[in-house]
Structure 1
């Protein structure tokens, strides 16, 4: 009803002002230039009628993906300055008032406040929030020592006419952030801000399968909302990292983080500009001044948490398979790896080791003798990693399945909207499943106890946490999601299926921190830290945690692999891009499933992938149930010989790789980096993503094309 009233009022005001714009060439001639258009109808289904009812311009264009409905130069939206800036302990504060009663999605908030904090010489924070009502904020603690304005490397200003908020680099005068206040939106369930960027050399934003490291700025939109789905170009995947780095025309670099965990998207436009949209929380930005790409990542990880220091053994080659099916097949695989003398330190166990896919069990029939066999492997100098999923079946006989009984007793589950009854979905275990809420301290106790007890059953060295988006095989839990604004907000960002509940829980489910609407993308992040501490306590050694779902700061306690990729040549190339991006995100312990997870590989593809994967920081060959075996010993003597030779190069360089991880842990450096990090002033280096560096001193340039024996010179201009 409120939205209907807003639209009626909007139409009446516009009719009076004569601000509706048509679509003929004459009427379009004075419109905003195509490259500067900001979408006024970001949800699907725009028409000239719905566009003009918003007071926006409708003008068709042949430019691919450019919006046909966009804000006019004299946009009636946005905010204006509501007085002079007030000095605060760490910076200053300004109040903004809404310029008109018009609304895109209803429930607009006015006034809003911008707080600017001078946090360090090279880092500032600015946040836009509602001063009269508390809204959800990501519970990531970022220290803010504070620094005097004159000691910073940046200036913050409003333009003389108070229409733009800007951040400049003092040394060069380059404008790093430039937001027109008419493009600012702050309503209950829709927040938007646009900024110009000083160049088209933009990197980051995740997690997606990007086709190039340097982004295209041709009206590309990326949705960010953790989702269990196999990598597809530009689709939102397992983690959320709203962080980008921009290399300026003079080769200085800066980074920007939007610390927000709600469903969101970002549009990259050729102006060049970025438009951020999110459906909850606040607009909480951190800007890092660099000025080198390495400095940017160092400053970013100083804020969000330095990457963890991995165990030395975890830098060795690792083997896994979903679908060994029995201990006999596992033993035969291990034996042939050793027969061919292939360097190999870590064996993973996927869900087929479990009894009926139940966490904290093992299959005593197909994997009879597994505890003793893992002890044998350890005596031979190997290490073992077990997988655990986050969902727990509720349908075993009472008293027969401790993880559920204890969790029920301790009240650790994500609940339905009533905040009392557990949310029930379906996943791998038989029957129905409930979902632990890792933001709850009681859940941390429960999980830690189970991990410690299971160490006495299977002598593991590390824990691999999967499906923690969280994945649910239904669209919401039983009996479905209620029809309300939390489950069906007025705007759904550009995510797969335009659905917040697809393959996960209903947004109005309740967690310890609040509604799942706000905390969904924090699930994997909140599970990683307690798993890290549990593994450390269980083993008495440096912890190994590998997590599929990640968020800002996850690298402090875990590593990541790039998910359920495919045995295709293009996926090899994309893995380099993903690896480079996660080093930007502060997660240098990163790799992809060597030879591919989905589909059957081929001899040539798998051999080339073993050569590339030998230089992933996290080097693991892994694939899916139902596909052919693909370990490097499976293909015979010649394949094994080449794989052995490449892996021996890796092993000979482990002291160097270990040193790079130490530098990352202490100083925040990248471990794998693009050539652009070392040769920033070379314009060509900005588009190269088919080769990469270990630190500053070792380059890897793999063959990425079928039936090729040479490296072709190529790079992406974005």
Structure 2
């Protein structure tokens, strides 16, 4: 027997004698939760499943998470704070967080927040301040009760306490259970919740045939802001709204769950042992759960909106009948449309004009040939008690030297830039410097406004005021394409790229932010032509002013990780 063969056989003989992994079992058993494979459930084969130590293949159910996934209680830091340690060495995508700090904050009778943070290093958290009161006084009776596992006395580094899970009681009923199979790594977080009742609503923005989730369909839906209108299939659309409403029973008692995270994410709603379940996955940040309890769905929604902030009260006329379209060819066509609508007896409170009114579709300009009479149109509509509203795209054409709004924007440094100079493409447009060049509707490349910085807000406001005076003072302003949207990202060229110019598009460098180990269902969707996270938007290695970090998440108009 050769030495290599001898050592191999000796290792095989000794394996059963070795101690079990810390906090785990010598042989992993499957759970009823599917393993999150990068290619989706349809890619599951024994070979693919075997690439992940946190997964196990079963002939009946396919690729499943093992019972060794999760965390154990190490000690109690305070009455409502636990330190957790990883249960075993199994992993999905590596770089697992070894220690988690779980903090439960009971803000008032109807709102509680549960946050899972890396105990050893700071991670990105959504930079939005929630309107939550200080922790409630213990003598205030709450509608809920959070049940945490019992924390043992402080344990040594090689000894683990009980597996971590939690439940939340609403009245006499368990409204929510967080299962033990919690995964938490640098670029992948997954948790599964069991919920009371079968009436689940919310989460998006995606395409749905009905408001109530179909548990039997067991569908997985992506959430990521990009320029995608509604269509068919499980697609990520314009907005990000990771809020779930669960009606617990016939009385209407309800629970709301806000997954406060802005990275690329997905969720799956399904049945698990007869209960409604939702699995939430995200590519970074922290696991931050805000729970809202009420005697009715309306009461829960009220708590939710008080927390995230109420919208500005709109003008009364903004609630009326409105008419908008893309493709008006002249002021005269808009006038004819208004006259035709009024003649038919259809109420009209707001008339929109899309980017067609611009000179070369450049913000803060007017095309003199077809829309030179725009200010008179605005005034005439006002006489009819119709309010004019104009569209703007926060993506400015790179007409350096002959486009004053761009010149003023560059002077105030208000545009999204590359994370570092090494990422600047070789074909960077002249004058674009370190800014990210994209494309929308203009005759050439564009720069995107970084609304995360105060200077950009001031500059944009100044430009709006200056232009509004020359356009007759329209009452409405519609900022469009602000997900942000970019056409043709990673493709040969955008669909509307000028035929007179050489083919070009914004192409994102291959890196761990643009190509995370688990890319979410957004990348697997058939509408994603490039097969990358940045499809129909900008790259993740682009920098906004907020904390000066790359954009790898999906919140509001300027995104960050």
TM-score normalised to structure 1 length: 0.65
Matched, 1:507 2:537: no
Residue aligning to 1:348: 352
- 1:277 pairs with 268, 275, 281, which one? 281
CA separation in 1, counterparts of 2:470 and 2:17? 74
- 1:480 pairs with 501, 504, 507, which one? 507
Q: How do 1:372-521 and structure 2 match up within 5 A?
A: 372-394=376-398, 396-398=399-401, 400-418=402-420, 421-458=434-471, 459-475=473-489, 480-495=507-522, 496=525, 497=528, 498-513=531-546, 514-521=548-555
Mapped contact 2:393–2:482 kept (Cα < 8 A): yes
Q: State the Cα deviation string for residues 34-77 of structure 1 (Å, max 9, x = none).
A: xx43334353333212323434332355xxxxx621124xx222
CA separation in 2, counterparts of 1:292 and 1:479? 47
Matched, 1:171 2:171: yes
CA separation in 2, counterparts of 1:254 and 1:159? 22
- Cα displacement (A) at 1:345: 1.3
Matched, 1:523 2:523: no
Mapped contact 1:205–1:244 kept (Cα < 8 A): yes
- 1:38 pairs with 34, 41, 49, which one? 34
Mapped contact 1:80–1:97 kept (Cα < 8 A): yes
- Cα displacement (A) at 1:156: 1.2
Q: State the Cα deviation string for residues 420-467 of structure 1 (Å, max 9, x = none).
A: 710111111111111111001111111111111111012211111211
DSSP 3-state at the match of 1:488: coil
- 1:77 pairs with 69, 72, 79, which one? 69
Residue aligning to 1:220: 219
Q: State the Cα deviation string for residues 328-347 of structure 1 (Å, max 9, x = none).
A: 11111112222333221111
- 1:154 pairs with 140, 144, 150, which one? 144
Residue aligning to 1:195: 193
CA separation in 2, counterparts of 1:108 and 1:69? 20
CA separation in 1, counterparts of 2:554 and 2:257? 22
Mapped contact 1:261–1:522 kept (Cα < 8 A): no
Mapped contact 1:415–1:423 kept (Cα < 8 A): yes
Across the aligned residues of Structure 1 and Structure 2, the Cα RMSD in angstroms comes to: 2.6
In structure 2, the gaps of 5 or more residues are 1-13, 151-160, 422-432, 491-503
Q: State the Cα deviation string for residues 371-429 of structure 1 (Å, max 9, x = none).
A: 112111112221011000111111x250x212210111111111112177101111111
Mapped contact 1:169–1:289 kept (Cα < 8 A): no
- Cα displacement (A) at 1:15: 12
CA separation in 2, counterparts of 1:229 and 1:520? 14
Q: How do 1:29-108 and structure 2 match up within 5 A?
A: 32=31, 36-41=32-37, 43-44=39-40, 45-55=43-53, 56-60=55-59, 68-72=62-66, 75-87=67-79, 92-108=80-96
| Alpha carbons of structure 1 residues 338 and 481: separation in structure 2 relative to 1, 3 Å | closer
| Alpha carbons of structure 1 residues 227 and 397: separation in structure 2 relative to 1, 3 Å | closer
DSSP 3-state at the match of 1:521: coil
Mapped contact 1:190–1:280 kept (Cα < 8 A): yes
DSSP 3-state at the match of 1:443: helix
CA separation in 1, counterparts of 2:551 and 2:70? 25
| Alpha carbons of structure 1 residues 483 and 336: separation in structure 2 relative to 1, 3 Å | closer
Matched, 1:293 2:275: no
Matched, 1:210 2:208: yes
CA separation in 1, counterparts of 2:206 and 2:374? 37
DSSP 3-state at the match of 2:372: coil
| Alpha carbons of structure 1 residues 98 and 428: separation in structure 2 relative to 1, 3 Å | same
- Cα displacement (A) at 1:501: 1.3
- Cα displacement (A) at 1:523: 1.3
Mapped contact 1:112–1:128 kept (Cα < 8 A): yes
DSSP 3-state at the match of 1:113: strand
Residue aligning to 1:115: 103
Q: State the Cα deviation string for residues 121-172 of structure 1 (Å, max 9, x = none).
A: 1000011111322211112111332202452221112245843533433522
* Corresponding pairs, count: 490
- Cα displacement (A) at 1:492: 0.6
- Cα displacement (A) at 1:19: 7.0
CA separation in 2, counterparts of 1:237 and 1:475? 16
Mapped contact 2:514–2:552 kept (Cα < 8 A): no
DSSP 3-state at the match of 2:279: strand
- Cα displacement (A) at 1:503: 1.8
Q: State the Cα deviation string for residues 517-571 of structure 1 (Å, max 9, x = none).
A: 3444331799xxxxxxxxxxxxxxxxxxxxxxxxxxxxxxxxxxxxxxxxxxxxx
Mapped contact 2:486–2:537 kept (Cα < 8 A): yes
Q: State the Cα deviation string for residues 468-488 of structure 1 (Å, max 9, x = none).
A: 111111325966222221121
| Alpha carbons of structure 1 residues 341 and 49: separation in structure 2 relative to 1, 3 Å | closer
| Alpha carbons of structure 1 residues 390 and 368: separation in structure 2 relative to 1, 3 Å | same
Which runs of at least 4 in structure 1 moved beyond 6 Å after TM superposition? 12-21
Q: How do 1:228-243 and structure 2 match up within 5 A?
A: 228-232=227-231, 233-243=233-243
- Cα displacement (A) at 1:511: 0.7
CA separation in 2, counterparts of 1:520 and 1:440? 17
Higher strand share: 2
Mapped contact 1:116–1:127 kept (Cα < 8 A): yes
Mapped contact 2:100–2:116 kept (Cα < 8 A): yes
Residue aligning to 1:633: none
CA separation in 1, counterparts of 2:437 and 2:92? 35
CA separation in 2, counterparts of 1:76 and 1:38? 14
Residue aligning to 2:257: 256
TM-score normalised to structure 2 length: 0.82
Residue aligning to 1:359: 363
DSSP 3-state at the match of 1:489: coil
Matched, 1:244 2:271: no
Q: How do 1:653-672 and structure 2 match up within 5 A?
A: none
